[in-house]
Chain A
Amino acid sequence: MADPMKIRAQMKGDVAEVRVLMSHAMETGTRKEADGKLVPAHHIQNMTVALNGKTVIAGQIAGSVSKNPVFGFKVKGAKAGDKVAVSWIDNKGDKRTDEAAVA
């Protein structure tokens, strides 16, 4: 199981700014070890951000997103106390969901 994500959601005016840090190797599949062996691809493929259970952002990503991905999103119509849930699944079927409240 992957390490927990760090999620911060903060109201700025009428928009909630959501920042997410995921813990993932994000191997492209083209990197070589010192001994010349290819490191197999291992990266997140799908991710979603949900506000109070409703999907607001659905992302598809490749290994060319940096290691330990950081994302910033903005959501209108949120208010303090709303629940933000972020999920991801990688190409090996590993997945993780974490939650935070809008501050």
Chain B
Amino acid sequence: MDMIRRTVLKSAGATGVVAGLLATGMLKPTLAYADDWNKAAFEAKNMDGALDGIGAKGAADNKDLLVKAPEIAENGAVVPVDVTSNIPNTTSIAFLIAKNPSPLAAQFEFSNGAVADVSVRLKFAETSIVRVVAKADGKFYSAQREVKVTAGGCGG
């Protein structure tokens, strides 16, 4: 329990949120589970920081990592992105959106027969590259796509 408390205290920082957390009963043991969340990577404000956070700096481009995303998205709030990794022994896939305030959107790990094939729907703050990073045999590989986000009906 002490460990959890410390994590919460640390993450709440100097903002004085702690009292609020206590009041709402959030300091429950269930938070231990949320310790698995890679806070540093998710809160990184740029692509390099986020890549660093997941240990994927210098990921090499790879054609066997297939990314499917719309070229133009009318609604940046819901952009479907499908990824299939044909790189053998792919164990994780991460999604990063370059121009978002925090690029890292999601990371999935596969085990026990899960196929390295994921589809998600992501938010794009503006027209941006979505970068997908796969981990296979301890190495990182990447692929990317640009999605143009049109505001209203007049973009293009």
Which residues of A pack against B, CB within 8 Å? Answer: 15, 28, 30, 45-46, 49, 51, 54-67, 69-78, 89, 91-93, 95
Q: Please pick, from A15, A64, A66, A92, the residue contacting B102 in the complex, using a CB distance under 8 A.
A: A64
The bracket for how many chain B residues form the interface is 35 or more
Chain B contacts of A60 at CB under 8 A? 36-38, 42, 106-107
- Which residue of B24, B31, B42, B82 has the most chain A CB atoms within 10 A of its CB atom? B42
Asked if A67 meets B114 with Cβ closer than 8 Å, knowing A57-B108, A62-B42, the reply is: no
B113 and A72 within 8 A (CB): no
Does residue B100 face the partner (Cβ distance < 8 Å to A)? yes
Asked if A75 meets B115 with Cβ closer than 8 Å, knowing A60-B107, A70-B121, the reply is: yes
Question: Which single residue of chain B is at the shortest CB-CB distance from A89?
Answer: B33
Does residue B69 face the partner (Cβ distance < 8 Å to A)? no
Type the 1/0 row for B12-42, where 1 means its CB is closer than 8 Å to any CB of A. 0000000000001010101101101110001
